[in-house]
Structure 1
Amino acid sequence: MLPSQPAPRRGTPLLSVLQNADFRLIWWVGTLHEFARRMELLILSWLVLQVTDSYFQLGLILVFNNLPRPFLSLVSGFLADRFNRRLILQISQVVNTLTVACILAIMAYDFELLKTWHVFLAITLQGATKAIEDPSRRTAILDIVGEGRLVNALSLDVVSNTAGKMVGPLLGGVLLDTVGFAWSYGFVLSVHLVNLSLMMRLRIPSSELTRQHEPVVRSLAVSINYALHSPVLKGLLYITILMNALVFPVQQFIPAIGRDHLGVGATLVGLLLAAEGIGQLAGAALMSLTRNVRYHGRVFVFGSLGVIVMTLLFVWSPWYTLAFALLAVSGLGQAGFSTMQSAITMLAAPPDMRGRMMGLLSFCIGVGTPLGGLEMGAVATAFTLQGAISGNVVAGLILMLPALVLTPLISRPLAQPPPATARI
């Protein structure tokens, strides 16, 4: 199969990326994947909350969903650099489809047979496939569009992910209130089947890099060592761990805040979950139109700070409308955080290490998120949900300050390394 031709450079950066048919296809794949994933998370989270009435067990959804990441992410980055990225994506989607089909079969046969451990197992498998496919999909985007349009392509990728994040919970909440759990989950299965058919048509250009067949352990050691010697990557990964441990777990508890603090049902909880996506979609759309970004780190840091402030205000909002607006503004910050997180990780690494660096990024996300979800759920159960969230968010803000002072994330523009600079 011949590599795709590079996207035309005429017109706006956004149009030049969208003119690439291969990018459009992988963009749709990402959109449907995130749509189904977010809908499934809402359906299963609402199920656990209604059945157990436990903040701790609600937090376990987040824990099990991210538990595979620390174990698989570094290896998945290695796989993305060494093996067929298209095949990795397809196998991951097959596993997702079969997992949803099994849970749906239990629901359809006898809903009473469905236990929380079934839910936790399904969520764990979903997290495992996401950890495996993320580095392959992100580096495949770079293969398709090239370095010159990477920020624009990743902004569009954030747009597609955000569209799924926005529409998935909203439609999931409506379906839960109208047709119940089984039919809602059946809709999730249909989306997975459509996405699987699209993945069979994916075309990803073969990388021209010469890959050395070094042992897996040494390969992982090289990537970790490189990150430790890069002040930019070190600061980015540190902030990534903080945000995923202390701030982003709040998203898992939005159903509980909606039900117990704001007094709304599944439909309005789904709309509340979509609010963040609305702001994130607007922010990502704006960034996709930018021509040249020099200070990637500033966008990343200020996006993080915006999420922190809006989250702290959200948990104490007494009104649904205000809570919705605060989450929407938080989404603007998340757009900057998400886009520049991936862009900095790949642009600050040499070409032959980008897959492994994306795996290392996923590892840091996976380390922080389960710990944060477990701790936040336990503290919320022992004390109050608002108190647990507020304490975590304030701690995240304080712990972020050293990275702003000691690393060049906000003080200097990003300098891209020459090829083959990996060292150990």
Structure 2
Amino acid sequence: MTTDSQSSDPLSGSASSAKLVPRRLTQGFRALHNYNFRLFWWSQIVSLSGTWMQTTAQSWLVLQITGSGLSLGLVTAVQFLPVTLLALYGGVLADRLRKQRAILFTQAASMIQAFIFGGLVATDHIALWHIYVLAAIQGIITAVDNPTRQAFVVEMVGRDDLPNALALNSTAFNAARIVGPSIAGIIIDQVGIALTLIINAVTFIPVLIALLRMDTLALHTPPPPRKGNPTKQVMEGLAYAWRTPAILTIFIAVAVIGTFGYNFSVTLPLLADFVLHKTAAGLGTLMSFLGIGSLIAAMATAYAKTVSLKRLLWGAFGFSVLFAMVALSRVYVLSLGLLAVMGFCGIIFAITSNTLLQLLAPDELRGRLMSVHVLLFVGSTPLGGFLIGLFSDLFGVSTALFICALICIAGVLAATVYVRSHGALDTQR
């Protein structure tokens, strides 16, 4: 009788519900109970905001100097060419090195690069060739930093909290994408580009402090891989991907979207300047609206309990269709709305591809498989950035972006046909 009366008591039920609501809300942040990840995550919000500020400033600076979409595409190509050439070997290093120490080195190097960039602009000594050299240096750093940082997440949180940690990382990335470009646009218009670059350099300091304060004993460090020929170890990772249909499907989709879709440092400045005729502040707003949609998607994904190939492919398809609509839009307000939804679909795709790949990857191959992901998502940018810049100069910005969107749609459909033919469409974790 006591149990029945308590269960039927509306006050008791309300109290129970009140306890459940906060618990459900906090489930989306469960990876933050890991001390090391908590340190890293908060510092990343600050640092990534600075990175987006520099991305906005660099693109606007190139357009100010040259007024050419091709030049902007070339700078992007130069920045990401080292990733194309070195990312796979960066993955071998990620499997071999103490990741915490490696990231300390790459983040310190990025800070120095940003200070030099800001100093050149502040003293009015900047030239286009300086930007090319600095972009190439940043690309070399990224080739090691990106696969190492991605593989380091599982060491901070373990496999159980990995999906949530990756979603929270994306949340930080996209919160920074909202804040960084908006601040950069205002500073560029009101003060100048140099201050934007110097602020970015300063934002690396919290990351360095966080890495130094980590509890190394709490890290889930895998056993060191066997020594061997780096090229042979790269081929081991590629061979594993080739014979695993779910992983190969991820790579097909990532390759086409990474090459022709995820080139925002080229596409958005071109849209802002040549199609929508906006200033640096307008560019910052475009990037922020893309970030708003992405942030909403990242938060939603943080509460998801599973990831699947179906979700990945739907996200990629939605991104591609909305990309085509953005390419055709001539109305600023409409473009903002389309970019927000496009950002939502793009992050569903990006988080799902990253999470599913890390969960499918064996521990001893994770760094190498993540380096392939980086190569296809980031390292393909030189080709994509160059082609977008070239097509924009030849056919106009809108036509160039629409062609790229159609290629993305075709690639996603090809990936869907492939995975269906191998019976792996229902793969989920």
TM-score normalised by structure 1 residue count? 0.90
Write the deviation string for residues 184-223 of structure 1: whole angstroms up to 9, x where unpaired: 2222222123433333223451524352222212211110
Per-residue CA deviations over 1:130-165 (Å, capped at 9, x if unaligned) read 221122222221112221221111100100111122
> Residue 156 of structure 2 corresponds to which residue in structure 1?
144
How many angstroms apart in 1 are the aligned matches of 2:195 and 2:265?
Answer: 25
1:339 alignment counterpart: 351
Deviation at 1:62, TM superposition (A): 1.9
| Contact 2:178–2:292 (Cα < 8 Å) also in 1 | yes
Q: Aligned to 2:328, what secondary structure does the other structure show?
A: coil
Alignment size in residue pairs: 402
Task: Select the residue among 99, 112, 127 that pairs with 2:113.
Answer: 99
Residue matched to 2:165 = 153
User: What letter is aligned with 1:119?
Assistant: I
What CA distance in whole angstroms lies between the structure 1 residues aligned with 2:210 and 2:40?
Answer: 9
Whether 1:75 and 2:89 are equivalent positions in the alignment is yes
What residue number does 2:140 align with?
128
Aligned residue number for residue 130 of structure 2: 118
Return the offset for 1:373: 0.8
Partner amino acid, structure 2, of 1:283: A
Paired position in structure 2 for 1:266 = 280
Match of 2:244?
Answer: 230
Separation in 1, partners of 2:118, 2:236: 43
**Which residue of structure 2 lines up, in the alignment, with residue 368 of structure 1?**
380
Q: Does 1:50 align with 2:60?
A: no
The one-letter code sitting in structure 1 at the alignment partner of 2:111 is: T
* Corresponding position of 2:337: 325
Indicate the RMSD between aligned Cα atoms, in angstroms.
1.8
Q: Residue 254 and residue 366 in structure 1: after superposition, are their counterparts in 2 closer, same or farther (change >3 A)?
A: closer
C-alpha deviation, 1:251, in angstroms: 4.7
After the TM superposition, which residues 16-415 of structure 1 pair with which residues of structure 2 at under 5 Å, given as runs?
16-109=30-123, 111=124, 113-204=125-216, 205-209=219-223, 211-290=225-304, 292-293=305-306, 295-408=307-420, 411-414=425-428
Larger Rg: 2
> How far apart are the structure 2 equivalents of 1:366 and 1:319?
30
Identity, in percent, stands at 25
Q: 1:244 to 1:208 in 2, by over 3 A?
A: closer
Deviations 1:296-334 (A, max 9, x none): 211211111111111111122222111111000011112
Q: Secondary structure at the match of 1:74?
A: helix
Cα distance in 2, alignment partners of residues 339 and 182 from structure 1: 33
- 5+ residue gaps, structure 2, are 1-22
Given that 1:13 and 1:149 are in contact with CA atoms closer than 8 Å, whether structure 2 keeps it comes out as no
Q: Relative to 1, partners in 2 of residues 1:15 and 1:392: Cα closer, same or farther, differing over 3 Å? A: closer
**Contact 1:170–1:271 (CA under 8 A) maintained in structure 2:** yes
Structure 1's 369 and 208: CA in aligned 2 closer, same or farther, altered over 3 A?
A: closer
The one-letter code sitting in structure 2 at the alignment partner of 1:254 is L
Aligned counterpart, 1:4: none
Deviation string 1:56-90 (CA, Å, 9 cap, x unpaired) is 01112321221111222111111111111011111
In the TM superposition, residue 247 of structure 1 has moved relative to its aligned partner by: 1.5
Instruction: Return structure 1 stretches of 4+ with deviation > 3 angstroms.
Output: 10-13
Range moving further from structure 2, 79-88 or 126-135: 126-135
For 2:161, what is the secondary structure of its paired residue?
A: helix
- Length-normalised TM-score, structure 2: 0.89
- Following the alignment from structure 1 to structure 2, what is the Cα–Cα distance between the partners of residues 180 and 13? 42
SS at 1:411 equivalent: coil
